[in-house]
Amino acid sequence: MRGLLKIAYKLLVNDRGKFAALLMGITFAVFLMLMMTSVFAGILQKSSATVTNTGAKVWVMDPSVNNVLNSIPMPDYVLDAVRSIPGVTYAVPFYSGAALVRLPSGRYQATTVIGLDDTSLFGRPKMIEGNIDDIYAGDSVIVVVDSEYPKLGRPKVGDSFEINDRRAVVIGLAKTPASGLFGLPTLYTTYSRATEYVPSPRFTISYVLVEPQDTASIPEIERAVRELGYVARTEQEFEDTIANFYKYQTGIGTNILLMTVISFLVGLSISGQTFYTFVLENLERFGALKAIGAKGRELVYMILFQVGVTSFAGYGLGIGLCTLLIFIAKLRLPSYASIITFWNMGLAFVMVLVIAAFSSYLGIRRVLRIEPFDIFRT
Protein backbone atom coordinates (compact mmCIF):
# COMPACT_ATOMS: atom_id res chain seq x y z
CA MET A 1 0.00 0.00 0.00
CA ARG A 2 2.88 2.34 0.77
CA GLY A 3 4.19 1.87 -2.77
CA LEU A 4 0.82 2.74 -4.28
CA LEU A 5 0.63 5.91 -2.22
CA LYS A 6 4.10 6.86 -3.41
CA ILE A 7 2.94 6.34 -7.00
CA ALA A 8 -0.16 8.44 -6.29
CA TYR A 9 2.02 11.25 -4.95
CA LYS A 10 4.28 11.19 -8.01
CA LEU A 11 1.29 11.19 -10.35
CA LEU A 12 -0.04 14.23 -8.49
CA VAL A 13 3.09 16.40 -8.36
CA ASN A 14 4.60 15.43 -11.72
CA ASP A 15 1.84 17.30 -13.54
CA ARG A 16 2.85 20.64 -12.08
CA GLY A 17 0.27 22.64 -13.97
CA LYS A 18 -2.69 20.62 -12.70
CA PHE A 19 -1.23 20.39 -9.20
CA ALA A 20 -0.74 24.17 -9.07
CA ALA A 21 -4.30 24.72 -10.34
CA LEU A 22 -5.70 22.42 -7.66
CA LEU A 23 -3.68 24.15 -4.94
CA MET A 24 -4.66 27.59 -6.19
CA GLY A 25 -8.37 26.74 -6.29
CA ILE A 26 -8.47 25.43 -2.71
CA THR A 27 -6.07 28.09 -1.40
CA PHE A 28 -8.16 30.99 -2.66
CA ALA A 29 -11.39 29.33 -1.58
CA VAL A 30 -10.02 29.02 1.97
CA PHE A 31 -8.59 32.54 1.78
CA LEU A 32 -11.93 34.08 0.77
CA MET A 33 -13.97 32.07 3.28
CA LEU A 34 -11.58 32.88 6.10
CA MET A 35 -11.40 36.57 5.18
CA MET A 36 -15.19 36.91 5.19
CA THR A 37 -15.70 35.14 8.52
CA SER A 38 -12.68 36.90 10.08
CA VAL A 39 -14.11 40.31 9.18
CA PHE A 40 -17.42 39.30 10.76
CA ALA A 41 -15.64 38.03 13.90
CA GLY A 42 -13.77 41.33 14.12
CA ILE A 43 -17.00 43.30 13.78
CA LEU A 44 -18.65 41.29 16.55
CA GLN A 45 -15.63 41.76 18.83
CA LYS A 46 -15.54 45.52 18.30
CA SER A 47 -19.32 45.84 18.70
CA SER A 48 -19.00 44.60 22.30
CA ALA A 49 -15.94 46.72 23.10
CA THR A 50 -17.67 48.79 25.81
CA VAL A 51 -18.90 45.64 27.57
CA THR A 52 -15.47 44.04 27.38
CA ASN A 53 -13.63 47.15 28.56
CA THR A 54 -15.96 47.76 31.52
CA GLY A 55 -15.76 44.25 32.95
CA ALA A 56 -19.08 44.32 34.85
CA LYS A 57 -20.51 40.89 35.66
CA VAL A 58 -24.19 41.94 35.37
CA TRP A 59 -25.74 44.75 33.33
CA VAL A 60 -29.22 46.11 34.10
CA MET A 61 -30.99 47.79 31.18
CA ASP A 62 -34.29 48.42 29.46
CA PRO A 63 -35.68 45.25 27.82
CA SER A 64 -35.63 46.93 24.40
CA VAL A 65 -31.86 47.43 24.41
CA ASN A 66 -30.13 45.18 21.86
CA ASN A 67 -26.96 47.19 21.26
CA VAL A 68 -24.66 48.90 23.73
CA LEU A 69 -24.82 52.17 21.77
CA ASN A 70 -28.61 52.30 21.74
CA SER A 71 -29.14 52.60 25.46
CA ILE A 72 -32.52 53.66 26.83
CA PRO A 73 -32.23 55.95 29.91
CA MET A 74 -33.66 54.62 33.16
CA PRO A 75 -35.00 56.56 36.17
CA ASP A 76 -32.90 56.91 39.31
CA TYR A 77 -35.15 54.66 41.40
CA VAL A 78 -33.95 51.64 39.38
CA LEU A 79 -30.45 52.11 40.80
CA ASP A 80 -31.78 52.25 44.38
CA ALA A 81 -34.02 49.23 43.80
CA VAL A 82 -31.17 47.15 42.37
CA ARG A 83 -28.92 48.04 45.29
CA SER A 84 -31.57 46.65 47.67
CA ILE A 85 -31.81 43.25 45.92
CA PRO A 86 -30.43 40.37 48.03
CA GLY A 87 -27.19 39.04 46.58
CA VAL A 88 -26.00 42.39 45.21
CA THR A 89 -22.64 43.46 46.61
CA TYR A 90 -22.85 46.86 44.98
CA ALA A 91 -24.47 48.56 41.98
CA VAL A 92 -23.30 51.72 40.24
CA PRO A 93 -24.67 53.92 37.44
CA PHE A 94 -23.00 53.91 34.03
CA TYR A 95 -23.39 56.45 31.25
CA SER A 96 -22.65 55.99 27.56
CA GLY A 97 -23.42 58.63 24.97
CA ALA A 98 -22.19 60.42 21.87
CA ALA A 99 -20.82 63.96 21.85
CA LEU A 100 -19.31 66.39 19.37
CA VAL A 101 -15.78 67.57 20.15
CA ARG A 102 -14.42 70.82 18.77
CA LEU A 103 -10.64 70.53 18.45
CA PRO A 104 -8.20 73.46 18.80
CA SER A 105 -7.83 73.43 15.00
CA GLY A 106 -11.54 74.23 14.69
CA ARG A 107 -12.37 70.80 13.30
CA TYR A 108 -15.23 68.78 14.79
CA GLN A 109 -15.05 65.12 15.72
CA ALA A 110 -17.78 62.81 17.02
CA THR A 111 -16.78 60.83 20.12
CA THR A 112 -18.13 58.33 22.61
CA VAL A 113 -18.34 59.66 26.17
CA ILE A 114 -18.26 57.14 29.02
CA GLY A 115 -19.40 58.31 32.45
CA LEU A 116 -18.06 56.32 35.43
CA ASP A 117 -19.59 56.22 38.89
CA ASP A 118 -18.27 59.27 40.76
CA THR A 119 -17.49 57.33 43.92
CA SER A 120 -15.98 54.05 42.75
CA LEU A 121 -14.96 54.82 39.13
CA PHE A 122 -15.95 51.23 38.40
CA GLY A 123 -15.03 50.22 34.85
CA ARG A 124 -12.16 52.72 34.56
CA PRO A 125 -9.53 52.06 31.88
CA LYS A 126 -5.87 51.30 32.54
CA MET A 127 -3.91 54.53 32.78
CA ILE A 128 -0.73 54.88 30.73
CA GLU A 129 -0.12 58.54 31.53
CA GLY A 130 -1.54 60.83 34.19
CA ASN A 131 -3.26 60.18 37.52
CA ILE A 132 -6.79 58.73 37.69
CA ASP A 133 -7.56 60.84 40.78
CA ASP A 134 -7.29 64.00 38.68
CA ILE A 135 -10.57 63.04 37.02
CA TYR A 136 -12.35 64.73 39.94
CA ALA A 137 -10.91 68.12 38.94
CA GLY A 138 -13.16 70.42 36.99
CA ASP A 139 -13.74 69.66 33.29
CA SER A 140 -11.44 66.62 33.35
CA VAL A 141 -11.50 63.82 30.79
CA ILE A 142 -9.36 60.78 30.01
CA VAL A 143 -8.59 60.00 26.39
CA VAL A 144 -8.28 56.38 25.24
CA VAL A 145 -5.20 55.74 23.11
CA ASP A 146 -6.36 53.30 20.44
CA SER A 147 -6.70 53.21 16.66
CA GLU A 148 -9.09 56.19 16.81
CA TYR A 149 -6.83 58.35 19.01
CA PRO A 150 -5.26 60.28 16.08
CA LYS A 151 -8.69 61.60 15.10
CA LEU A 152 -8.53 63.86 18.17
CA GLY A 153 -5.17 65.27 17.06
CA ARG A 154 -3.17 63.07 19.48
CA PRO A 155 -3.83 65.25 22.55
CA LYS A 156 -1.40 65.19 25.47
CA VAL A 157 -1.99 65.62 29.18
CA GLY A 158 -2.92 69.24 29.78
CA ASP A 159 -4.41 69.84 26.34
CA SER A 160 -7.98 71.05 26.12
CA PHE A 161 -10.88 71.07 23.66
CA GLU A 162 -14.62 71.61 23.74
CA ILE A 163 -17.33 68.97 24.17
CA ASN A 164 -20.69 70.31 23.06
CA ASP A 165 -19.44 73.88 23.71
CA ARG A 166 -18.10 72.99 27.18
CA ARG A 167 -14.41 73.05 28.04
CA ALA A 168 -12.68 69.72 28.65
CA VAL A 169 -9.12 69.21 29.87
CA VAL A 170 -7.15 66.02 29.22
CA ILE A 171 -5.81 64.80 32.56
CA GLY A 172 -4.67 61.38 31.41
CA LEU A 173 -4.23 58.86 28.62
CA ALA A 174 -5.45 55.29 28.95
CA LYS A 175 -5.75 52.06 27.02
CA THR A 176 -8.54 49.50 26.81
CA PRO A 177 -8.62 45.85 25.72
CA ALA A 178 -10.75 46.60 22.63
CA SER A 179 -11.58 49.59 20.46
CA GLY A 180 -15.04 50.49 19.22
CA LEU A 181 -16.65 49.48 15.95
CA PHE A 182 -17.75 52.76 14.43
CA GLY A 183 -14.45 54.62 14.40
CA LEU A 184 -15.24 57.01 17.27
CA PRO A 185 -12.59 58.09 19.80
CA THR A 186 -13.51 57.34 23.42
CA LEU A 187 -13.43 59.74 26.36
CA TYR A 188 -13.87 58.79 30.03
CA THR A 189 -15.08 61.12 32.74
CA THR A 190 -17.23 60.97 35.85
CA TYR A 191 -20.92 60.12 35.60
CA SER A 192 -22.09 63.53 36.78
CA ARG A 193 -19.84 65.38 34.32
CA ALA A 194 -20.78 63.10 31.42
CA THR A 195 -24.46 63.96 31.90
CA GLU A 196 -23.51 67.63 31.77
CA TYR A 197 -21.44 67.28 28.61
CA VAL A 198 -24.11 65.39 26.69
CA PRO A 199 -27.67 66.76 26.42
CA SER A 200 -29.93 64.18 28.05
CA PRO A 201 -33.65 63.61 28.52
CA ARG A 202 -35.31 63.46 31.92
CA PHE A 203 -33.52 60.22 32.88
CA THR A 204 -29.75 59.84 32.56
CA ILE A 205 -28.76 56.32 33.70
CA SER A 206 -27.79 54.29 30.61
CA TYR A 207 -27.02 51.09 32.53
CA VAL A 208 -26.68 49.88 36.09
CA LEU A 209 -23.54 47.81 36.65
CA VAL A 210 -23.97 45.12 39.30
CA GLU A 211 -21.41 43.11 41.22
CA PRO A 212 -23.15 39.98 42.61
CA GLN A 213 -21.99 38.30 45.78
CA ASP A 214 -21.45 35.08 43.85
CA THR A 215 -22.54 33.36 40.67
CA ALA A 216 -25.43 31.64 42.45
CA SER A 217 -26.95 35.04 43.23
CA ILE A 218 -27.33 36.02 39.55
CA PRO A 219 -30.63 34.16 38.85
CA GLU A 220 -32.28 35.82 41.86
CA ILE A 221 -30.98 39.24 40.75
CA GLU A 222 -32.34 38.66 37.24
CA ARG A 223 -35.76 37.66 38.65
CA ALA A 224 -35.93 40.72 40.91
CA VAL A 225 -34.95 43.05 38.06
CA ARG A 226 -37.65 41.54 35.83
CA GLU A 227 -40.21 42.39 38.49
CA LEU A 228 -39.07 46.01 38.20
CA GLY A 229 -39.87 45.92 34.49
CA TYR A 230 -36.24 45.81 33.37
CA VAL A 231 -33.76 43.09 32.42
CA ALA A 232 -30.45 41.99 33.91
CA ARG A 233 -27.91 40.31 31.63
CA THR A 234 -24.56 38.82 32.44
CA GLU A 235 -21.55 40.08 30.51
CA GLN A 236 -21.68 37.07 28.16
CA GLU A 237 -25.44 37.34 27.68
CA PHE A 238 -25.13 41.01 26.79
CA GLU A 239 -22.34 40.27 24.30
CA ASP A 240 -24.52 37.51 22.77
CA THR A 241 -27.44 39.96 22.50
CA ILE A 242 -25.24 42.46 20.68
CA ALA A 243 -23.87 39.73 18.39
CA ASN A 244 -27.39 38.53 17.55
CA PHE A 245 -28.38 42.09 16.71
CA TYR A 246 -25.61 42.41 14.13
CA LYS A 247 -26.17 38.89 12.81
CA TYR A 248 -29.91 38.94 12.34
CA GLN A 249 -31.16 42.54 12.52
CA THR A 250 -28.65 44.20 10.23
CA GLY A 251 -27.48 43.35 6.73
CA ILE A 252 -23.94 42.60 7.89
CA GLY A 253 -24.52 38.96 8.77
CA THR A 254 -26.52 38.20 5.61
CA ASN A 255 -24.01 39.85 3.28
CA ILE A 256 -21.00 38.10 4.79
CA LEU A 257 -22.82 34.75 4.81
CA LEU A 258 -23.63 35.20 1.13
CA MET A 259 -20.03 36.02 0.25
CA THR A 260 -18.79 33.01 2.24
CA VAL A 261 -21.18 30.68 0.38
CA ILE A 262 -20.07 32.13 -2.96
CA SER A 263 -16.42 31.57 -2.00
CA PHE A 264 -17.24 27.98 -1.07
CA LEU A 265 -19.05 27.33 -4.37
CA VAL A 266 -16.15 28.82 -6.35
CA GLY A 267 -13.66 26.58 -4.57
CA LEU A 268 -15.95 23.57 -4.96
CA SER A 269 -16.41 24.05 -8.71
CA ILE A 270 -12.76 24.86 -9.50
CA SER A 271 -11.32 22.04 -7.39
CA GLY A 272 -13.88 19.46 -8.53
CA GLN A 273 -13.46 20.25 -12.21
CA THR A 274 -9.65 20.42 -12.05
CA PHE A 275 -9.30 17.16 -10.17
CA TYR A 276 -11.72 15.39 -12.48
CA THR A 277 -9.63 16.55 -15.44
CA PHE A 278 -6.52 15.30 -13.66
CA VAL A 279 -8.11 11.85 -13.22
CA LEU A 280 -9.16 11.71 -16.87
CA GLU A 281 -5.63 12.46 -17.99
CA ASN A 282 -4.28 9.67 -15.79
CA LEU A 283 -6.91 7.04 -16.59
CA GLU A 284 -4.39 4.92 -18.48
CA ARG A 285 -2.09 4.78 -15.47
CA PHE A 286 -4.92 3.85 -13.10
CA GLY A 287 -6.06 1.23 -15.61
CA ALA A 288 -2.56 -0.22 -15.82
CA LEU A 289 -2.39 -0.47 -12.04
CA LYS A 290 -5.74 -2.23 -12.02
CA ALA A 291 -4.52 -4.62 -14.75
CA ILE A 292 -1.46 -5.69 -12.75
CA GLY A 293 -3.56 -6.49 -9.70
CA ALA A 294 -4.42 -3.28 -7.86
CA LYS A 295 -7.81 -3.62 -6.22
CA GLY A 296 -10.57 -1.05 -6.45
CA ARG A 297 -10.20 -0.30 -2.76
CA GLU A 298 -6.52 0.50 -3.24
CA LEU A 299 -7.28 2.84 -6.13
CA VAL A 300 -9.80 4.60 -3.91
CA TYR A 301 -7.08 5.06 -1.28
CA MET A 302 -4.84 6.59 -3.93
CA ILE A 303 -7.52 9.08 -4.95
CA LEU A 304 -8.25 9.99 -1.32
CA PHE A 305 -4.54 10.42 -0.67
CA GLN A 306 -4.13 12.77 -3.63
CA VAL A 307 -7.16 14.83 -2.69
CA GLY A 308 -6.07 14.89 0.97
CA VAL A 309 -2.57 16.14 0.17
CA THR A 310 -3.94 18.85 -2.11
CA SER A 311 -6.73 19.92 0.25
CA PHE A 312 -4.61 20.17 3.40
CA ALA A 313 -1.80 21.94 1.57
CA GLY A 314 -4.32 24.41 0.13
CA TYR A 315 -5.92 24.84 3.55
CA GLY A 316 -2.57 25.71 5.13
CA LEU A 317 -1.63 28.09 2.32
CA GLY A 318 -5.04 29.76 2.52
CA ILE A 319 -4.71 30.37 6.27
CA GLY A 320 -1.18 31.68 5.81
CA LEU A 321 -2.22 34.05 3.01
CA CYS A 322 -5.18 35.33 5.04
CA THR A 323 -3.04 35.86 8.15
CA LEU A 324 -0.41 37.73 6.16
CA LEU A 325 -2.96 40.02 4.52
CA ILE A 326 -4.68 40.82 7.84
CA PHE A 327 -1.31 41.54 9.44
CA ILE A 328 -0.35 43.94 6.64
CA ALA A 329 -3.81 45.56 6.67
CA LYS A 330 -3.62 46.23 10.42
CA LEU A 331 -0.17 47.78 10.02
CA ARG A 332 -1.62 50.25 7.52
CA LEU A 333 -5.14 50.52 8.98
CA PRO A 334 -5.10 50.07 12.79
CA SER A 335 -8.91 50.24 12.98
CA TYR A 336 -9.32 47.35 10.51
CA ALA A 337 -11.88 44.97 12.03
CA SER A 338 -10.74 41.43 11.34
CA ILE A 339 -9.66 38.61 13.62
CA ILE A 340 -8.91 34.94 12.97
CA THR A 341 -10.46 32.62 15.55
CA PHE A 342 -10.55 28.86 16.00
CA TRP A 343 -14.20 29.01 14.96
CA ASN A 344 -13.24 30.65 11.64
CA MET A 345 -10.55 28.08 10.95
CA GLY A 346 -12.85 25.22 11.96
CA LEU A 347 -15.58 26.41 9.59
CA ALA A 348 -13.06 26.75 6.75
CA PHE A 349 -11.73 23.26 7.55
CA VAL A 350 -15.22 21.75 7.35
CA MET A 351 -15.81 23.44 4.02
CA VAL A 352 -12.46 22.14 2.73
CA LEU A 353 -13.51 18.64 3.76
CA VAL A 354 -16.71 19.06 1.72
CA ILE A 355 -14.68 20.25 -1.27
CA ALA A 356 -12.31 17.29 -0.84
CA ALA A 357 -15.21 14.84 -0.57
CA PHE A 358 -16.83 16.21 -3.71
CA SER A 359 -13.56 16.08 -5.67
CA SER A 360 -12.88 12.55 -4.40
CA TYR A 361 -16.33 11.39 -5.41
CA LEU A 362 -15.85 12.60 -8.99
CA GLY A 363 -12.46 10.94 -9.25
CA ILE A 364 -13.41 7.66 -7.55
CA ARG A 365 -16.54 7.26 -9.63
CA ARG A 366 -14.52 7.53 -12.83
CA VAL A 367 -11.60 5.36 -11.72
CA LEU A 368 -13.80 2.47 -10.48
CA ARG A 369 -15.45 2.28 -13.90
CA ILE A 370 -12.11 1.66 -15.61
CA GLU A 371 -11.76 -1.69 -17.38
CA PRO A 372 -8.16 -2.72 -18.08
CA PHE A 373 -9.26 -4.23 -21.38
CA ASP A 374 -10.44 -0.83 -22.62
CA ILE A 375 -7.11 0.76 -21.68
CA PHE A 376 -4.95 -1.78 -23.52
CA ARG A 377 -7.32 -1.85 -26.50
CA THR A 378 -6.67 1.83 -27.15
Q: For residue 2, how far is the Cα from the chain centroid? A: 43
pTM: 0.77
Cα distance between residue 206 and residue 68, in whole Å: 9
Cα distance between residue 348 and residue 344, in whole Å: 6
Report the DSSP beta bridge partners of residue 115: 95, 189
User: How many C-beta atoms surround the C-beta of residue 226 within 10 A?
Assistant: 12
pLDDT in tens, the chain (378 residues): 666 677 777 777 777 777 787 788 888 888 888 888 888 888 888 888 889 899 899 999 999 998 888 888 999 999 999 999 999 999 999 999 889 999 988 899 999 999 999 999 999 999 999 999 999 988 899 999 988 899 999 999 999 999 988 999 999 999 998 887 777 899 999 999 998 888 877 888 999 999 999 999 999 999 999 999 999 999 999 999 998 888 888 777 778 778 878 877 877 777 777 777 777 777 677 777 777 776 777 777 877 888 888 888 888 998 999 999 988 888 887 777 788 888 888 888 888 888 888 877 777 777 777 666 655 555
Domain ranges of the chain: 2-46+251-377, 75-229
Contacts of 355 (CB under 8 A, 6+ apart): 26, 29, 264, 267, 268, 271, 272, 311
Contacts of 218 (CB under 8 A, 6+ apart): 57, 58, 87, 212, 232, 234
